[in-house]
Amino acid sequence: MELITSYGTIFLILACIFGLFMAWGIGANDVANAMGTSVGSGAITIKQAVLIAAIFEFAGAFLAGGQVTKTIRKGIIDADLLSATPELLVYGMLASLLAAGIWLLVASRFGWPVSTTHTIVGAIVGFAAVGIGVDAVHWGKVGTIVMSWVISPALAGAVSYWLFRSVQKFILNRDDPFESAKKVVPYYVFLTGFIIALVTMFKGLKHVGLELTPVQNYSVALAFGLVIMFISMASIRKLKIDPEADRDFHFANVERVFGVLMVVTACAMAFAHGSNDVANAIGPVAAIVGIVQSGGEIAQKSVLPIWVLILGGAGIVAGLLMYGRRVMATIGKNITELTPSRGFAATLAAATTVVFASGTGLPISTTHTLVGAVLGVGLARGIGALNLTVVRTIFLSWIVTLPAGALMSILFFFTLKGIFS
């Protein structure tokens, strides 16, 4: 307890610096995932993606990022074992933030789309198992996370495969694809609005303390889907066929219709992502703030100061601005060639999988889900449409993420312990 009192201010300063670094890493890696399909498909430019993400990611993080957050991330460690030595949890959370931030920097440098959730989880498991004891880790939780490496991409891949097959059947293979697109795409817009509103309701707004029943969540999502469907119908009706556009690419006019849809998905996914994944950076910060302010008392949940949310939101936007292009290129261009119709199928499949996971308690990674969805779209056009070298590299980076976070976290944990104890 004396250490907390003596070094409390230093711990808070380090928490802010490391938390900002981790949020920066989320912006550079995870946000680029969310925007990658829209940019890669040509629906929006990189500048537009950065602007959309800056506005909607920050809004999601600030408005729906949470007044109350689980400070012991995902219930992975047993906080009761640390009640007599709260400084160990402070060292551990600082080490986890720094380790996760460094791994996300490395992954973003090479354009690897890795899971920020798995990065911070690996870091927390590492310091807890070695620094506190193997019994301090809830290994069942870790097992479900490993399961999600296979489950989330496989599920999203299957959904995106069938979604794109439906696009081929109802639009691309028709006698007049452009007119078919104008009739069918509003229904896809409704489905997209409905699903992404559910992502926001289940994954985002639950942090605000806004407790809605499942019926209310579905009602709000239904209303949102209908509203954007009618708005999109008005926009799509104005589109006129350009015979010149189809000369180089037979479906160029059809893809213009899907371009309207991709702008909607980019905005909504950015908000939902900001509301949910900012917790990866600010959860450990909130834990440290709670311990320091209470003089050493460890709580499973703590009230989250507004400035911590702003810190997380600002870090995410800065990371995307400064370093997001590499991962965006991997998701949007390097796995398979994307067009707005293919990007739509991938984004909606990822969002659908996230909603399903939220409702069933299935462990999930947004990154793994989106990569799986892009793979599914590629497979719908045949295995030759995939760049298997890039796919292999991505899978290897996923396997390395947990141990990389853990090893660095252990190193930093003992370094901090040596300095302050």
pLDDT tens string, the chain, 421 residues long: the values are: 678 878 888 999 999 999 999 999 998 998 877 788 888 888 888 888 888 888 888 887 777 665 445 544 456 787 777 777 888 889 999 999 999 999 999 999 998 999 888 888 889 999 999 988 888 888 887 887 778 778 889 999 999 999 999 998 999 888 888 889 888 888 988 988 888 787 777 655 655 566 778 888 899 999 999 998 998 888 888 888 877 766 666 678 888 888 878 887 778 777 777 776 777 788 788 888 888 887 777 765 656 677 888 888 889 888 988 888 888 888 888 888 888 888 888 888 887 887 777 666 666 777 888 899 999 999 988 888 899 999 999 999 988 998 999 999 999 999 999 998 7
Of 272, 265, 202, the closest CA to residue 232 belongs to 265
Q: Which residue has the tokens 């950015």?
A: 270
How far are the Cα atoms of 210, 229, 280 from residue 164, in angstroms, in the given order? Answer: 35, 19, 32
Q: Which residue has the tokens 């003596």?
A: 6
**Interhelix angle 340-360/32-40, nearest 10 degrees:** 150
In 108-242, beta strands by DSSP E: none
DSSP 8-state assignment for residue 298: -
- 15 contacts 285 by C-beta, under 8 angstroms: yes
- 340 contacts 41 by C-beta, under 8 angstroms: yes
- 270 contacts 31 by C-beta, under 8 angstroms: yes
How far are the Cα atoms of 71, 131, 211, 294 from residue 3, in angstroms, in the given order? Answer: 20, 17, 38, 13
How far are the Cα atoms of 71, 114, 287, 376 from residue 252, in angstroms, in the given order? Answer: 49, 32, 51, 22
CA dist 95 and 342 (Å) reads 40
Longest dimension (CA), the chain: 77
Q: CA neighbours within 13 Å on the CB side: how many for 367?
A: 29
Token output for 157: 């891949």
CA dist 194 and 306 (Å) reads 30
CA dist 175 and 149 (Å) reads 41
pTM of the predicted protein model: 0.84
Token output for 421: 């104890």
